[in-house]
Structure 1
C-alpha cells in the first residue's frame, strides 16, 4: 500500500506549471518548462529551505537568470574559449553568450523546456522523470550535432532528495559527455539562523589558476588557510568572494559537500558521486545568502586544453550505444545527536 505521505502531482510555482513531490516532512518542486530545474527542496516541518528559490511571487526571475536558482543542468558546463569546442578532429562553434569574456558559458540545457516522462509514487518515494531528446531539428543540434537523450529522475523519500542523471548516446559517433550542476544552496537554510552560524566542508583537491577570462592558465595555486579548512574541518562559506575551480579529492570513498548549522548541528550533505572530477565553488561575492558548490565532470575549457590527459581534465567521451549514469543525493544529518 502506497503511503499517504508520498505524493506527486501537477501544480504551480508562480505562473509556471510545476511537478510537486512530497514525502514525510519533505517537499520538492520541479519546473519542467525552465530547464527541468528542481527549484525547491524543503523540510516543511522544520522550516528549512535548502535550495535558493526565486519565490513564487518572483518566479519569472528563474527564466531571466536560470543559472542561480535550484539545480540547473549545465551541458556542456562552464566556459569555452571563444566558443570553440574541438572534438575528434572537428571544431564546433558555440554561441558567445558571455560578452565580458568572449566565451560560451554553461551550455544549453538549463533554460529550455524539458519533457515530462512520468511522475508518481510507490511505497518508498515520490518521483518525477524528465528528459531532453536531441536530434536534428533540436534547438542546439546545429552547434553540437550529436544524437542523445539526457534523462533526470528525482526522488523524494525519508532519505532526502535523490538525483539520477542518465545520458544515452543514440548516434553513430563518439560524443562529448561533459556535465555539471550549478546547485544553489541556501546558507542560512534555517530561518532562525544567520550566515555566520554556518560552516562548509567540500572534497576539494588542488586549485586551478584562472586568467582574466575565467579560463585555466594551467598553473596550480596553493590553497589558502581558509581553503585548507574548507577541505578538512570546515569554514564559513562567505570567508571571501569565491569563484574558484578545484579538482575533486574524494574522502572515505565519497565526493561531497557538507553544510553545517553550528547552532543546531543540522548538516546538509550533498553527495555527488566520484565521476565529478572537479568542483566550482561560487558564493556571489560573499553574499551571505547562498553559494553554489558545483560538481563538474570536466576542467573548465577542457576541449581547448593541451598537455594533459583526457582523463585528468575530464574530457570524457561517450561511445555510440553506451550509457552514462550518476546518482547524487541531498539529505540531512544532525551532528549533535
Structure 2
C-alpha cells in the first residue's frame, strides 16, 4: 500500500520547522520557538484551523509567541508577584506583566526544544520534541528541578493528536503546572465569517478574578449567555472574554466544539479530563480568533488555600510521570 504521509525538516516562513503531512492534512511545529505547533490545515476543505503568523509577523511572533498556534505554558498564566512556595521551597519568577505585577506564562513557549525523532508509519506521520531541565539549563534558576517535558504530535485520518508527558527525574518533588494557549481561527474556513460560528465548552463554574486577574477562591454566577457555552452554544465573540472556569465533562469528555454553520462542519478540541480548568480569551472580541486554553491547574495555584485536588495542583514525586492526550479533528455538524 502506498504511503500517504510525510515527515520532514523544512521552514515555516524564515523559521526552522518539522512538517507533517497525511492525506488532506498538514501541520508544522517550530522546535526553536517553544515547540509551537504553528499550523494545522485541511487542504481538501480549505481550512486553516490555527492562527498562523504571516511572513511579515515572524519577528513580532518570536518576541511574543503566545497567541499563535499551540504554545506550551509551564507554569501557565499568572503568579502573584512572581512568587510562590511549594513543598517548602520558595520560587521567584520574573515579573513580566507590568500592568498586574505578576509573572505570566512561564518559560517554555519561548525556549529552544530538541527534535528527538520524526517519521512516517502505515498509520500516521509524527514528530517527538523534548526539553530537559537540569543544573546547566537557564530555566533551572527558576524551576530548580531535573525534569523533561516531551511532546508528540501526529497526523492521521483521525486528525491531529497531541501527547504530553512531564517526567521528574530529579531527587525532589516538583509542581506540575501546564496549559496550552491554543489559538483557534474563527473563521477557520475560506468564505465564512465570524458570524457563521458558534461554540460550546465543557465548563462548570466561573472563577472570580481580582483586579490583578488572580482568582479570589470564590466563584461567580454564570450569566445567561455564559450558560449557553455548555448547552446550545454561542458566538466566540459575543463579549470580550478573559475568563477562568472549572472544567466539566460532556459524554465523558472534556472539550471545545466550534461549528461553522455555513459549511455544516464542526471542529472538536478534545483535551482530556486531567485538565481541570479552562481559560478562554478572545482578544477583545476581535472577530478573528479565540483561545480556549486547557489548563491543568488553577491560575496562581500554589498561592491558593484550596485543596490541591480541587485546583489541579499536581505534585510529581521523584521518578513520577504526568501524561495527557488531546486531539483536534473535524466532523460534519
TM-score range, shorter chain: over 0.9
How many Å separate the matches in 1 of 2:56 and 2:215? 39
Question: More displaced, 58-67 or 169-178?
Answer: 58-67
- Residue correspondence of structure 1 range 91-240 to structure 2 within 5 A: 91-240=90-239
How many Å separate the matches in 2 of 1:267 and 1:15? 32
TM-score in terms of structure 1 length: 0.97
How far did residue 177 of structure 1 move? 0.5
- Residues 130-179 of structure 1: CA deviation (Å, up to 9, x unaligned): 00000002111011101100000000000000000011110011110111
How many Å separate the matches in 1 of 2:111 and 2:24? 31
How many Å separate the matches in 2 of 1:61 and 1:123? 38
How far did residue 4 of structure 1 move? 2.9
How far did residue 265 of structure 1 move? 1.4
User: Contact (CA 8 Å) 2:240, 2:284: kept in 1 or not?
Assistant: yes
How many Å separate the matches in 2 of 1:174 and 1:315? 13
Which residue matches 1:9? 8
Number of equivalences: 333
Question: SS state of the match for residue 95, structure 2?
Answer: coil
- Residue correspondence of structure 1 range 75-90 to structure 2 within 5 A: 75-90=74-89
Which structure 1 segments of 5+ residues have no match?
A: none
Is 1:67 aligned to residue 66 of structure 2? yes
User: Contact (CA 8 Å) 1:186, 1:289: kept in 2 or not?
Assistant: yes
Which residue matches 2:315? 317
Question: More displaced, 135-144 or 58-67?
Answer: 58-67
Once superposed, what is the RMSD of the aligned Cα atoms? Answer: 0.9
How many Å separate the matches in 1 of 2:176 and 2:291? 22
How many Å separate the matches in 2 of 1:323 and 1:143? 20
User: Contact (CA 8 Å) 1:13, 1:59: kept in 2 or not?
Assistant: no
How far did residue 111 of structure 1 move? 0.5
How far did residue 55 of structure 1 move? 2.0
- Residues 271-313 of structure 1: CA deviation (Å, up to 9, x unaligned): 000000000000000010000000001111000011x110001
Question: SS state of the match for residue 141, structure 1?
Answer: helix
Which residue matches 2:28? 29
User: Contact (CA 8 Å) 1:14, 1:58: kept in 2 or not?
Assistant: no
How many Å separate the matches in 2 of 1:16 and 1:211? 39
- Residue correspondence of structure 1 range 36-51 to structure 2 within 5 A: 36-51=35-50
- Residues 229-271 of structure 1: CA deviation (Å, up to 9, x unaligned): 1111110000000000000011111000000001121000000
Which structure 2 segments of 5+ residues have no match?
A: none
- Residues 176-227 of structure 1: CA deviation (Å, up to 9, x unaligned): 0111000000000001100000001000110011111100112211111111
Question: SS state of the match for residue 109, structure 2?
Answer: coil
How many Å separate the matches in 2 of 1:302 and 1:324? 17
Question: SS state of the match for residue 141, structure 2?
Answer: coil
User: Contact (CA 8 Å) 2:3, 2:122: kept in 1 or not?
Assistant: no
How many Å separate the matches in 1 of 2:7 and 2:304? 44
How many Å separate the matches in 2 of 1:259 and 1:125? 25
How many Å separate the matches in 2 of 1:57 and 1:78? 27
Q: Which runs of 4+ in 1 moved over 4 A?
A: none
How many Å separate the matches in 2 of 1:156 and 1:227? 33
TM-score in terms of structure 2 length: 0.99
